[in-house]
Amino acid sequence: MALIVQKYGGTSVGSSERIQHVAEKVIAMRKQGHDVVVVVSAMSGETNRLVSLAKSIADPPEPREFDVILATGEQVTIGLLSIAIQAKGYAARSYTGGQVHILTDNAHNKARILEIDDKKMRADLAKGTILVVAGFQGVDEYGNITTLGRGGSDTTAVALAAALKADECQIYTDVDGVYTTDPRIEPRARRLDRISFEEMLEMASLGSKVLQIRSVEFAGKYNVPLRVLSSFEEGQGTLITSEDNIMEQALISGIAFSRDEAKLTILGVPDKPGTAYQILGPISDANIEVDMIIQNMATDGMTTDFTFTVHRNDHKKALNVLQKIAQNLGAKEVRSDEQVVKISLVGVGMRSHAGIASKMFKTLADVGINIQMISTSEIKISVAVDEKFLELGVRVLHEAFGLDKATA
Amino acid sequence: MALIVQKYGGTSVGSSERIQHVAEKVIAMRKQGHDVVVVVSAMSGETNRLVSLAKSIADPPEPREFDVILATGEQVTIGLLSIAIQAKGYAARSYTGGQVHILTDNAHNKARILEIDDKKMRADLAKGTILVVAGFQGVDEYGNITTLGRGGSDTTAVALAAALKADECQIYTDVDGVYTTDPRIEPRARRLDRISFEEMLEMASLGSKVLQIRSVEFAGKYNVPLRVLSSFEEGQGTLITSEDNIMEQALISGIAFSRDEAKLTILGVPDKPGTAYQILGPISDANIEVDMIIQNMATDGMTTDFTFTVHRNDHKKALNVLQKIAQNLGAKEVRSDEQVVKISLVGVGMRSHAGIASKMFKTLADVGINIQMISTSEIKISVAVDEKFLELGVRVLHEAFGLDKATA
């Protein structure tokens, strides 16, 4: 008998029928003898409806009151799911974030969980009651309603699992697990049985949007085994766990990619100490996040070229800032390119194996893909390439690193 | 400078535009230097939407969880109105029932308010903040969300006014006050400037559905001056207050009526002690409320005829019960009539003036209206008549008692 926290997203509870279906899944788990805590999101579409309503009054809405409005979405779902479970003959009880004292800071609309009081929940679980808790919300120390920001229900589930020392936190979504890469690009992409927290973080931040990054960080920090499964199909999903629990570690776990890149280059900057800061300081001041960075000496030996990537949404803004910088520094020219994508190999196995990078570069070169930029971390190698090579690049790498075959 | 509690119903906050309009009305009151607490209902249609949603899962929905769902309707409105007030440059703060500790019993879906903690509210008011409180909801002693039942927002407003010792509780509706009778029946009906709590109770329970009866009882009990006004038109509305505050008391304040009557008669019941109980006991056991009752001796001196009225919805059910009773008692016959209405004169002035009843009966007789039943209380005389006489009866009485003329 274990204690399981399950989380169902907006699509999984998007209609009365789907809520009935979730009730059956929850009860099936209870019937196996497990204690169950369920975290739910607002019904799909509901949060958008509430956002529009608030913005029709004032845009942006005042943050405290915006949270009061947004929190109702999940409150409706917890009531509906509890009614559905009870109607099928099982004890259930709903709780808002405030009712189980999910204490957060007071950063409305993007609050962080500080503490959870597990007393009430433990008493209910001891009686065999299924708990249904509103995701995405909490209260600050003065009892004001706060929300964790979009996708915060995943974080709520992990935080509850950590507070209750649950055996597993199961995140039900519309995909049946984490894949070696996006199956829409490489049909031979394979569902991973297990992946480490760190790898998942790299996969998520690079565009495999299965889980909220914050919830994975949280799960890693508190070592909560996290499982991603489908609400609609049966299956074991993918278990995200600490590296120690993954017996046979593949070299590479997956290939992530991002289409949302833009590349900016400032050419012919006089090469003096502090140049990098003089360029990136104003970019950062404009709240633009920089991803990959490279700096080369120009052929004249007196000036340098400086290239970096930003999110494509920030391209125009970054370009404006950079043009001003270029004038101030007496640089020769500014160039930019929106036709850039990033492809990344992710795997904890690369820590102990040399030659991954060279194999990656050779594989891409063999099919004529020119690498524009490279950046590496302990468990990741990323390259920027022309966007027309995205699909080809992902597929040849997927094949070269044997990702379509189960781990030996 | 006064402390004013205002309540706006679902129609008054039914759209973004209307919420903006309410924000302006609230601010206008604040600008006059008054402290303002606003109580709001769910946007019109919202409670029905939530009810259908819950019933699509299970019907009836489990009461505790039903309240969790229903309470979100008002929670959305308090957020929206607070945002609107703030956007116009005034400090505002929303509170759910739980956040200002509107403590109720645990009778979910029809809870009663036990206590309100005014500390938080007084602190906010002292800072000049406009408070926006969710109507219709509270929490029980364990922190479970409760609702007061339909129309409960009026009760919340009066309870807050009582707790805060407000100078006036203003109920904004879609009518501009309490009228001497329904203007759709008598176009010369006149808006009353003032009416006593007791008269209002009789008017409300007899079908002038301006205010919830419970809120009027509450206001009377705690002597909270209650004012009914229109959200859409300017005007002073009608002040409902204690009798002592009404200087020049008219004999009759208004004429109420009810179309929802049905009359049942059991003929030829042997006249023995306990007969009335033997008839009305089973009716009451069937949860049917009896309104007017008359009992006459039959011409033979041995048996009695017994007549009473019930709500028209209960007619069939009452008839079935009565037919069984008739068999048991060996009565001669059971008759029933759905074509019956009730017309009532209401006025505290009739306490000290004889002759009201006879004037009423003569007025009706003069135009050929046959009175089928009569019942009286200290401040009310009601008659049952054929429904075809409803309009005529109301009009001749309205004229006879000079209700179209302002109090001398």
What is the SS3 string spanning chain A? CCEEEEEECCCCCCCHHHHHHHHHHHHHHHHCCCEEEEEECCCCCHHHHHHHHHHHHCCCCCHHHHHHHHHHHHHHHHHHHHHHHHHCCCCEEEECCCCCCEEECCCCCCCCEEEECCHHHHHHHHCCCEEEEECCEEECCCCCEEECCCCHHHHHHHHHHHHCCCCEEEEEECCCCCECCCCCCCCCCCECCEEEHHHHHHHHHCCCCCCCHHHHHHHHHCCCCEEEEECCCCCCCEEEECHHHCCCCCCCCEEEEEEEEEEEEEEEEECCCCHHHHHHHHHHHCCCCEEEEEEEECCCCCEEEEEEEEEHHHHHHHHHHHHHHHHHHCCCEEEEEEEEEEEEEECHHHHCCCCHHHHHHHHHHHCCCCCCEEEEECCEEEEEEEHHHHHHHHHHHHHHCCCCCCCC
Position A377 pLDDT exceeds 90: no
- Domain at B255-400: CATH code: 3.30.2130.10
**Between A19, A62, A84, which is nearest B83 by CB?**
A62
Position A101 pLDDT exceeds 80: yes
Domain boundaries, given as residue ranges, for chain A: 3-173, 255-400
pLDDT at A402: 92
Fold identical between A3-173 and A255-400?
no
CB contact under 8 A, A57 and B65: no
Answering whether pTM is above 0.80, one says yes
pLDDT digits (tens, 9 = 90+) for A153-194: 999 999 999 999 999 999 998 889 999 999 999 999 999 999
Residue A398: which pLDDT band, with cuts at 50, 70 and 90? very high
Q: Distance (Å) from the C-alpha of residue A94 to the closest C-alpha of chain B?
A: 7
Q: How are beta strands A380-386 and A373-377 bridged, if at all?
A: antiparallel
- Which residue of B16, B57, B81 is the best one to mutate when testing the A interface, meaning the one whose CB has the most A CBs within 10 A? B57
Position A313 pLDDT exceeds 50: yes
Which H or E run includes B194? strand B194-196
Residue A205: which pLDDT band, with cuts at 50, 70 and 90? low
CB contact under 8 A, B58 and A86: yes
Position A406 pLDDT exceeds 70: no
Phi, psi of A279 (to 5 degrees): -85, -50
Q: Which residue has the tokens 């194999």?
A: A359
CATH 3.40.1160.10 describes domain B3-245: yes
The percentage of chain A sitting over the pLDDT mark of 70, rounded to a whole number, equals 97
Angstrom distances, CA of residue B90 to CA of A107, B19, B80, B134, B241 = 22, 15, 14, 19, 31
Counted across chains A and B, CB pairs separated by less than 8 A come out at 107
B61 secondary structure, DSSP code: P
Please list every residue in chain A whose beta carbon sits closer than 8 Å to the beta carbon of residue B143. 99
User: ipTM exceeding 0.90?
Assistant: no
**Between A16, A57, A99, which is nearest B80 by CB?**
A57
Please list every residue in chain B whose beta carbon sits closer than 8 Å to the beta carbon of residue A54. 79-80, 83
pLDDT at B207: 60
Please list every residue in chain A whose beta carbon sits closer than 8 Å to the beta carbon of residue B19. 57
A148 near A154, Cβ under 8 Å?
A: no
CB contact under 8 A, B99 and A143: yes
B13 touches A at CB < 8 Å: no
B353 secondary structure, DSSP code: -
Mean pLDDT value of segment A351-361: 86
**Between A58, A69, A83, which is nearest B76 by CB?**
A69
Q: With both helix axes pointing from N to C terminus, report the angle between B213-222 and B197-205 in degrees, rounded to the nearest 10.
A: 170
Q: What is the mean pLDDT of each run of 10 residues along chain B (408 residues)?
A: 95 96 97 97 96 96 97 98 98 97 95 94 96 97 91 92 97 90 92 93 73 88 94 92 76 90 92 86 92 81 89 94 93 93 92 85 95 90 95 96 76
Please list every residue in chain B whose beta carbon sits closer than 8 Å to the beta carbon of residue A87. 57-58, 62
Query: Regarding the domain with residue range A3-173, which homologous superfamily does it belong to in the CATH classification?
Result: Acetylglutamate kinase-like (3.40.1160.10)
pLDDT at A167: 97
pLDDT at A194: 92
Q: Distance (Å) from the C-alpha of residue A56 to the closest C-alpha of chain B?
A: 6
Q: Distance (Å) from the C-alpha of residue A1 to the closest C-alpha of chain B?
A: 28
Q: d(Cα A66, Cα A59) in Å, to the nearest integer?
A: 10
A129 touches B at CB < 8 Å: no
Mean pLDDT value of segment A295-301: 76
Q: Which of residues 88-117 of A touch B (CB under 8 A)?
A: 93-94, 96, 98-99
Q: Which of residues 49-78 of A touch B (CB under 8 A)?
A: 50, 53-54, 56-58, 61-62, 64-69, 71-72, 75-76, 78
Position A408 pLDDT exceeds 60: no
Q: Pick the residue from chain A with its C-alpha nearest to B87.
A: A58
Please list every residue in chain B whose beta carbon sits closer than 8 Å to the beta carbon of residue A62. 82-83, 86-87
Q: Distance (Å) from the C-alpha of residue A45 to the closest C-alpha of chain B?
A: 15
pLDDT at A300: 76
Phi, psi of A129 (to 5 degrees): -75, 140
Residue A40: which pLDDT band, with cuts at 50, 70 and 90? very high
CA dihedral A312, A316, A317, A318 (to 10 degrees): 70
